[in-house]
Amino acid sequence: MQKVTVTITPDLQYFVNAKRTSHNGIEGMLRNELTGQDGVVVLHIDKEVPVEHLVRVAGIATSMNAKVTIATSPELTP
């Protein structure tokens, strides 16, 4: 299984496997990274990022027959 990590920061910077890319470059980067049949895209997206960015990346990954997983951080209790 091939795993690709996509990170979107609160200031809308995109990273694919820690390599910075643009909003428009995300599809090409994912195509380069997802070369096998069993790809998984793990999304690390800050809660401040508008949901349409998550949906766009998930849609691109799904169109490449990759599974999409959203990584979350546990809430810290005081």
pLDDT tens digits for range 21-78: 998 999 999 999 987 677 999 999 988 999 999 999 999 999 999 999 998 766 555 5
Mean pLDDT computed over 1-24: 93
pLDDT of res. 71: 87
The answer to whether the CB of 71 falls within 8 A of the CB of 40 is no
pLDDT of res. 53: 94
The reported pTM is 0.86
pLDDT of res. 2: 86
Give all strands (DSSP E) within 1-78, no chain letters.
2-8, 14-16, 19-21, 39-45, 67-70
Domain 2-70 has CATH 2.60.40: no
Domain ranges of the chain: 2-70
pLDDT of res. 46: 87
